[in-house]
């Protein structure tokens, strides 16, 4: 039994004394203890070495005592396993030297054997579970098929992912074939994560907001729905579409346990658009963590009051930024732990 199960209670929609809290990207770059590991090992070595990944996962828990841990990994381990070469270039970020731009390029893309290609992730989960010792739940994650496609086609990060969108609009059959391969791989991957011991999974659609509402349904949401359908009877699924407020009503009917909300959608609108019956997670602007700690605490209290303490998980509206002061991250967590309704 997990001792602190606030996070799981919130996902089940149960009444809680206070909402649970964790932060997207909490395992990583803003922590000095992470920077020490980063100085010795390159990015994918950190992801692919279970001892390092599990240590990085528990670092923020030791420091701040969040109510859930999220496994240190990356969404781009999926295309790597699918025979798409991905590097992490300093100063650039994700880099795909041979992007997928045609039907012919798709011939080399495989749906892999997960234990063979991504077994290191499962080993990291098992090691992390030992370190957590049933104190708090562990979250596993994957990128949405559309978000993965964006990197595989564009070849790197982008402000508008124009090449990825062009590929979808000019070669829709090839795009859907790639999206289905990513979806099939993601389902197999997340099922293995559940077997290895994660207590919930989150699907990150970081670039969903790049699409119009109609294109979102065609090129992103239908594939996320496949993932939710495949996993929802085995574990809790959190669906997070950044900039996708327009799809919240559809998402709320998907069978997901919770929906992530970004900071561009108010708590009131998020509750309204989702019908008020599903757990919501979010939505503090990560850049707001530069505000003074006393102000952060006030804003967090107000955010909880607006969302309501039940069916709610306190989080940021996207990942924590690398240069956030430690004290400010601490103020965010403390504000939730100190929360009392007026």
Residues 209, 244: contact at Cβ < 8 Å? Answer: yes
120 contact partners, CB below 8 Å, separation of at least 6: 47, 48, 49, 50, 53
Task: State mean pLDDT over 51-76.
Answer: 98
**What's the pLDDT at 116?**
97
**Which parts are annotated binding residues for substrate?**
25-29, 44, 74, 151, 206, 318
Tokens of residue 304, six digits: 């909880």
**Which parts are annotated binding residues?**
25-29, 44, 74, 151, 206, 318
**What's the pLDDT at 332?**
98
Residues 328, 288: contact at Cβ < 8 Å? Answer: no
Q: What is the dihedral of CA 309, 313, 314, 317, to 10 degrees?
A: -130
Q: 114-132 and 50-64 are packed helices; what angle lies between their axes, rounded to 10 degrees? A: 30
Tokens of residue 189, six digits: 């991957």
In the predicted structure, residue 342 carries a pLDDT above the cut 90: no
Residue 1 in any domain: the answer is: no
**What's the pLDDT at 13?**
98
Q: 326-337 and 293-307 are packed helices; what angle lies between their axes, rounded to 10 degrees? A: 40
pLDDT per residue as tens digits for the range 274-294? 999 999 999 999 999 999 999
Task: State mean pLDDT over 327-339.
Answer: 98
Query: Percent helix, strand, coil in the chain (nearest 5)?
Result: 50, 15, 35
Q: How confident is the model at residue 90 (pLDDT cuts 50, 70, 90)?
A: confident
Tell me the residue range of the domain where 179 lies: 6-337
Residues 264, 243: contact at Cβ < 8 Å? Answer: yes
Q: What is the dihedral of CA 291, 33, 194, 47, to 10 degrees?
A: 110
Domains contained in the chain, number: 1
Residues 70, 57: contact at Cβ < 8 Å? Answer: yes
142 contact partners, CB below 8 Å, separation of at least 6: 75, 78, 186, 189, 190, 201, 203, 204, 227
Cβ neighbours of 96 (radius 10 Å): 19
As a whole number, the mean pLDDT across the chain is 97
Residue 121 burial (10 A CB sphere; 0-12, 13-18, 19+): buried
In the predicted structure, residue 83 carries a pLDDT above the cut 90: yes
**Of the candidate ranges 88-92, 302-306, 318-322, the one whose mean pLDDT is the lowest:** 88-92
Residue 87 in any domain: the answer is: yes
Residue 342 in any domain: the answer is: no
Residue 333 in any domain: the answer is: yes
Nearest of 150, 156, 182, 187 to residue 168 by alpha carbon: 150
- Separation of alpha carbons 162 and 101, rounded Å: 12
> Would you call 59 helix, strand, or coil by DSSP?
helix
In the predicted structure, residue 341 carries a pLDDT above the cut 90: no
Place of tokens 């590097």: 87
Q: CA 58, 60, 62, 64 torsion: positive or negative?
A: negative
Place of tokens 């982008």: 158
> Would you call 311 helix, strand, or coil by DSSP?
coil
Q: How confident is the model at residue 178 (pLDDT cuts 50, 70, 90)?
A: very high
> The CATH number of the domain where 44 resides is what?
3.20.20.210
pLDDT per residue as tens digits for the range 188-235? 999 999 999 999 999 999 999 999 999 999 999 999 999 999 999 999
pLDDT cut 70: percent of the chain above it: 100
pLDDT cut 90: percent of the chain above it: 99
Tokens of residue 149, six digits: 């496609």
**What's the pLDDT at 235?**
98
Place of tokens 């979806």: 183
- The string of DSSP codes covering 164-210 is HHHHHHH-HHHHHHHHHHHHHHHHHHHHHHHHHT-SEEEEEETTGGG
Residue 252 in any domain: the answer is: yes
- Separation of alpha carbons 177 and 110, rounded Å: 11
Nearest of 328, 320, 336, 263 to residue 296 by alpha carbon: 328
- Separation of alpha carbons 298 and 292, rounded Å: 10
In the predicted structure, residue 330 carries a pLDDT above the cut 80: yes
Tokens of residue 131, six digits: 């370190």
Q: Global pTM?
A: 0.97
Tokens of residue 58, six digits: 């528990």
């Amino acid at each position: 039994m997990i001792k602190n199960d606030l996070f799981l209670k919130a996902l089940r929609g149960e009444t809680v004394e206070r909402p649970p809290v964790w932060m997207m990207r909490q395992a990583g770059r803003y922590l000095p203890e992470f920077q020490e590991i980063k100085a010795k090992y390159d990015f994918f070595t950190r992801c692919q070495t279970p001892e390092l990944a599990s240590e990085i996962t528990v670092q923020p828990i030791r420091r701040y005592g969040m109510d859930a841990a999220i496994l240190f990994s990356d969404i781009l381990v999926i295309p790597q396993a699918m025979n798409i070469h991905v590097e992490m270039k300093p100063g650039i970020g994700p880099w795909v030297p041979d992007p997928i731009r045609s039907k012919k390029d798709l011939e080399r893309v495989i749906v892999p054997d997960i234990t063979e290609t991504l077994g290191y992730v499962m080993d990291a989960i098992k090691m992390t579970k030992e370190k957590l010792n049933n104190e708090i739940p562990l979250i596993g994650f994957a990128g949405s098929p559309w978000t993965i496609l964006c990197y595989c086609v564009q070849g790197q990060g982008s402000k508008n992912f124009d090449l990825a969108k062009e590929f979808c609009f000019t070669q829709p059959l090839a795009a859907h074939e790639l999206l289905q391969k990513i979806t099939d791989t993601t389902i197999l991957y997340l099922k293995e994560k559940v077997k290895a011991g994660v207590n919930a999974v989150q699907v990150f659609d970081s670039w969903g907001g790049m699409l119009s509402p109609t294109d979102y349904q065609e090129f992103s949401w239908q594939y996320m729905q496949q993932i939710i359908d495949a996993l929802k009877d085995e574990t809790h699924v959190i669906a997070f579409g950044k900039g996708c407020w327009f799809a919240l009503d559809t998402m709320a009917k998907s069978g997901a346990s919770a929906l992530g909300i970004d900071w561009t959608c108010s708590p009131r609108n998020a509750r309204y658009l989702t019908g008020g019956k599903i757990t919501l997670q979010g939505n503090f602007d990560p850049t707001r963590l530069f505000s003074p700690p006393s102000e952060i605490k006030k804003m967090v209290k107000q955010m909880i009051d607006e969302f309501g303490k039940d069916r709610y998980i306190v989080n940021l509206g996207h990942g924590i930024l690398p240069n956030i002061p430690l004290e400010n991250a601490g103020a965010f967590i403390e504000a939730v732990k100190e929360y009392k309704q007026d």
